[in-house]
Structure 1
Amino acid sequence: MNRPVTLIGLCLLFANTAHAATYCVGAPGGGTTHTSIQAALNAAETNPGTDTIFVIRRDGIQAQGIVIENQDVILSGAHVNCNPDEPLFEPTVLNAGGGSMTSALIVQNTASSRLMHVEISGFDIVGGDAIFGAGGGLRVDGHVDLSLSHLKISQSEASYGAGIAFYGAAEASMRLGDRVEISNNLATGSGGGLAIFGGSVFVDGMQTSIHGNTSVHDGGGIFLAGEGSANVAHLVLRRGRMLDASVGSVHEVVESNIAELGDGGGIAAAAWSDVQGYSVDEYFPIWISLNSASQGGGIAVLGETARVRLWNPVIRGNHANAGGGAILAIDGGQFEMLDRNDPDRPADALQCSGDGYLDYFCVIANNIARSASGNDVPGAAVMLSHSAAVVTPTRVVLAGARLLDNRGSSVFSDTCLSIECNASSQLIVRNSLVAYHPETPVLAQLIYGSALEV
């Protein structure tokens, strides 16, 4: 009785996938269909369905400005041959150097509001040089649903988003899955590793890290700034950390990034941005560590339409030359480190207590506010500022947190970063421990009228 229904279902399945094609890029012979990635993409664009392109590993493929446009496609590198059942080999290297001054890889939907589905894996992208634009390694535009895995983007340069620049539409998304590394990129503007200008980015992979990137201005690791209330830039951090066998150490999910002259060494959330962070795996946690900036060594929340909420983070070992070793919030920005009692806590977020490794969660520790000349400055953990021109109060909430051994002339401080400041900043500390600060003689230095509630 069920057989006709089953046959109808199978017919529909094959009808939907009948036109999808598979291509293989490599040297002539051996089953290859094209000798360049762009030629295979151009051929696939004429086919409906989700096409698959396998790329045989070769050392140093010169490829600048590869464009995936208006098509659903799976682009898979690191193959030994054209047999998809063969195990993956070393990554296919895409060397985008050569002076073309463009992104190494561009994914864009210019044809419709339908989401374009793309998967990219198995590549090592180096040398993107969009020095007058955005997205040195990868640029994404429009209505795109993009998944990345087993991918490294490094040694690329751009004005914004030297590693990746994501200009997503409101419903667009990009997922950083397993083994994604964005490292050692340079932004002459903001967003050394990643810049998000709309849509949603999910960092949710094991062995995944954004580390060692540099921006001249804000967001050494990650910079966010949405287009407005209709397209807020979203970032969700759920899982990360990677083992770097080359140096025998671990890179955290946002680590060792630098904002040379700006704020937010790890993350800078500017206008119309929303950041959420919570660990779902105790072995691949959300640590924001060893980043540095002028202010807000770990995180900077820059404006009244910017919000950062973290449920079980570790913010450790960050450094700021002018204050806010861990956190800077200004001009109506909202930063919240929330505990298990928060009604919005994601159901799969680990709780901030337990045996063993979980004891390290929910910590703001070992952050430093110290000038380049070695003088301690205020705000080893948190610095606030508020402009009289901004209606929304600047607000920092620390709930269920442990603040330990942060180093500067005070643990908390406020400052004035505008022409006229007022007393609208709020610092709320509840159900928390602030202790063991032998090198920080003052708890709170609030000289611009900020309110401290304990």
Structure 2
Amino acid sequence: MSKIRTLAGTVAALATVVALPVTDAHAQAVVLCSQTALRAAITQANAAPGPNTLFLTPGCTYNLTAPDNPGNGLPVVTSDITIVGSLLGTRNVIRRQSASAFRIFRVQGPNARLTLNSLTVRDGRSGSSGGGGILNDGGALTLNSVEVTRNLSDIGGVGAGIGSNSTLTLRNSTVSFNRSTNNGGGLYSSGTTTISNTTIAGNTAKDGGAGMEVRGSLTLTNSRVTDNAGGEDGGGILSFALTGTITDTLIQGNTIAGDGLVGGGIRNASGSTLTLERTTVFANRALGSGSQAGGISNVGAGSTVNLRNSSVSYNYAKAAPGGILNDGGTVSLTATSVEENYPTNCSPSAPAVAGCTN
């Protein structure tokens, strides 16, 4: 880190982007503290062969005052780029600071790979294409120790914090206080999604999946999905046509306002198979008139929820059941407690949830 600081100070008067010596065919650069420098660095990295790493100026907030291209604050990422924020001291922030609506990052194409390390992405705003903070369109997006916060997906777009249709990986990150006018307040992902040691909290969605809407495949481990609020289905997690596992995770305090088979914590539907292992579904709520399933809603033929060594407790719904609702699918309980849900734990469900008492 001291080497980076020294380099940044030395070259400040020389150029906006300074290339460092290439090692192991991996080009590196220090990005000075301006939106012009950051845009130039991404453009240069897109044009360069092989992976490129950009080191942000320690403590800098990169304010984007106008879009670089229609809908995007920064150049569209089309190559393999890693952006590294401050490891010590004040966290780097990349934010929209403009009356114009635009997201922060767009990753596009099969050769595009964007890795963000140790920084904050905030205040982005997208239109109908979604991905208010970051849109991953056909590439690979990886976030390590990144905060994605206070982004908006407007005009019916999905995924206020993050929208992805290919490969998405989050580690040790936070997705919080993002707002979608459609689905996926925190994130919307329809590809391969891997999340670990991450908090998804305080996000809102006009429709469903306030914390996240996921399709395709999901691996969620050692994480927290808490205090998200939606209008239709799946306050914490909405899963469609998904094969997913949730392990060692807390799903708590999520709320849904819609009517019917909503799922305050989780709604699993459209033939999804979701397995929860050592996971707690606690104190989620379904508040709409006649709403069911404060904890988990499993809906439709072929939809399956397997709970192992887990607990579903103190969830609430306006209409029974408050804990787990099964409507035409399969729910299995293995060494799992379902208790103290209101007004009932699992009844009525059809087929009934074997091993669940009320």
Normalised by the size of structure 1, how large is the TM-score?
0.66
How far is the alpha carbon of 1:323 from its aligned partner? 1.0
Residues 279-317 of structure 1: CA deviation (Å, up to 9, x unaligned)? 2xxxxxx0111101132000001223x221112210000
Residues 126-172 of structure 1: CA deviation (Å, up to 9, x unaligned)? 1111033311011111142x32112111111112100000110xxxx
Q: Number of matched residues?
A: 320
C-alpha distance in 2 between matches for 1:181 and 1:319:
23
Change (3 A) 1:428 1:23: same
C-alpha distance in 1 between matches for 2:195 and 2:243:
14
C-alpha distance in 2 between matches for 1:238 and 1:39:
37
Paired residues of 2:263 and 2:297 also in contact (CA < 8 A): yes
Per the alignment, residue 37 of structure 1 pairs with: 38
Consecutive unaligned residues in structure 2, runs of 5 or more: 1-21
C-alpha distance in 2 between matches for 1:219 and 1:331:
18
Residues 307-365 of structure 1: CA deviation (Å, up to 9, x unaligned)? 211122100000012110101111225232343xxxxxxxxxxxx4xxxxxxxxx1111
C-alpha distance in 1 between matches for 2:114 and 2:228:
28
- Percent identity over the alignment? 23
Paired residues of 2:107 and 2:113 also in contact (CA < 8 A): no
Residues 70-128 of structure 1: CA deviation (Å, up to 9, x unaligned)? 211211122xxxxxxxx53322122224243332111122xxx55x4432012212111
1:323 aligns with 2:280: no
Change (3 A) 1:98 1:27: closer
Correspondence list, 1:273-292, <5 A: 273-279=242-248, 286-292=249-255
Correspondence list, 1:279-428, <5 A: 279=248, 286-293=249-256, 294=258, 295-304=262-271, 306-321=272-287, 322-332=291-301, 334-339=303-308, 352=309, 362-370=310-318, 377-386=319-328, 394-408=329-343, 410-414=344-348, 425-428=350-353
Correspondence list, 1:95-174, <5 A: 95-109=95-109, 113=110, 116-144=112-140, 146-158=141-153, 159-168=157-166, 173-174=167-168
Consecutive unaligned residues in structure 1, runs of 5 or more: 1-15, 29-33, 79-86, 226-232, 241-252, 280-285, 340-351, 353-361, 371-376, 387-393, 416-424, 435-442, 444-454
Paired residues of 2:339 and 2:345 also in contact (CA < 8 A): no
C-alpha distance in 2 between matches for 1:404 and 1:134:
39
Paired residues of 1:101 and 1:132 also in contact (CA < 8 A): no
User: Whose radius of gyration is greater, 1 or 2?
Assistant: 1
1:194 to 187, 192, 198: 187
Normalised by the size of structure 2, how large is the TM-score?
0.83
Per the alignment, residue 60 of structure 2 pairs with: 58
Amino acid at match of 1:219: G
C-alpha distance in 1 between matches for 2:302 and 2:188:
19
1:237 aligns with 2:220: yes
1:75 to 39, 58, 83: 83
Paired residues of 1:292 and 1:319 also in contact (CA < 8 A): yes
Where 1:45 maps in the other structure, the secondary structure is helix
Where 1:40 maps in the other structure, the secondary structure is helix
How far is the alpha carbon of 1:20 from its aligned partner? 3.1
